[in-house]
Amino acid sequence: MNLSKQGSSMRLGTLIFAATASLALASSSMAFEPLTIIDQGSFSAGGAVISEPGTFDSKAPLKSAGQTFHGDHAYSFYQVPEAPRELPLVLWHGAFQSGKSWETTADGREGFQTLMLRRHFSVHTIDQPRRGRAGNSTVAAEVKPTAYDQLFFDMFRIGQWPNYFDKVQFDTSEASLAEFFRSVTPNTGAFDPQVVSDGVSALVDKTGPAILVTHSQAGGPGWLTAIKNPNVKAIISYEPGSGYVFPENEMPEPISGSAGTLKPEAVSLEDFAKLTRIPIVVYYGDNIPDDPTDDFGLDNWRTRLAMARLWVDAINRHGGDASLVHLPDLGIYGNTHFIFSDLNNQQIADLATEWIEEKGLGNTAPK
């Protein structure tokens, strides 16, 4: 992995993490196997700089005249395991989330970040512009405390409040649910697919060739990032929630339901063709109805799964390599919207690894 464009080496030497976690989430501790990390660090990428007119006065520094503001960048925390594979993974969170989505799970198990490090992938766990550790926004926003926990419980298909789905792949302890709710974090500026894809495209400029792993809201900006940057060599998308792009003269009809109307988004045929040059796989989990329902949280995903099928068909019709995997079709049941952090996330990590290897993208990095 080449990060030389940052102007200085980020190599930290060999760090051995004997990661014994003492997590008081389920009144017990969990011991993780040692993991050797040969490099780690963090950096920002992309963004904009706002300048205030006037001259800066060091005797009156609280005045904005002549000062600058850096914002709208993306953030990456990266780790490199021993014997890394050639292509790193860029883990991109969904709405109301940050890079925390990929870290330790709500019930204290290893998250996708660590599971993929153990499979010898270098991992960039990112925060998109205007979220989390990339929170400086160049546009103003008011962040209000809004009581949405029960909405998220239903929308993310953990169950239908207050009941969990039967055999759901989510730890049903009170502590785990509270930890999950506390992972929710707001936008610090308006969500803008162009801004966030610009930021992640700049980040991929720094990583070099990489595999995007997107979740939910990041699905649409993920396609835009691949259109903008040929360093995106493949995409794994977990339950993309919006931003399904189609050639402007091949737009399908919007799909309506009790959660609203999901509209496709138009791009040029030239841009759409760029998505046909890389392998793409889309995963959806369980408890998504086949037929319309008045249950807001469930019908929301019925429409998105239906649009995803149309999108995958369009990619393949234009000569691409896209597949949609509905996990119940594989006999894998109980997965929530957060497939990669569910109780069976080891199995989900294996599926991702197998797919990457099938596409010939899992080779060890040359020395």
Q: What is the CATH number of the domain that holds 342?
A: 3.40.50.1820
* Side chain identity, residue 294: D
- 9 falls within a domain: no
Residue 85 lies in a domain: yes
Q: What is the mean pLDDT of residues 64-70?
A: 97
Q: Is residue 366 part of a domain?
A: no
Q: Is residue 350 part of a domain?
A: yes
Range of the domain at 75: 42-358
Question: What pLDDT score does 30 carry?
Answer: 59
Q: Long-range contacts for 208-211 (Cβ within 8 Å, ≥24 apart)?
A: 208/1, 208/2, 209/86, 209/87, 209/233, 210/87, 210/88, 210/89, 210/90, 210/124, 211/87, 211/88, 211/89, 211/90, 211/235, 211/236, 211/356, 211/361
Inform me whether the pLDDT recorded for 16 exceeds 70.
no
The pLDDT tens digits for 167-207 are 999 999 999 999 999 999 999 999 999 999 999 999 999 99
24 is a domain residue: no
Is residue 29 a part of any domain in this protein?
Answer: no
Q: Is residue 363 part of a domain?
A: no
SS3 state at 236 = strand
Mean pLDDT of the chain: 93
- Looking at the chain, the whole-number percentage of residues with pLDDT higher than 70 is 92
Strand 89-92 relative to strand 48-51, pairing: unpaired
* Number of domains the chain is built from: 1
Supply the pTM of this predicted model: 0.92
> d(Cα 94, Cα 219) in Å, to the nearest integer?
8
Is the pLDDT reported for residue 47 higher than 50? yes
d(CA 328, CA 334): 8
Contact 110, 104 (CB under 8 A): yes
The pLDDT, as a whole number, for residue 14 is: 46
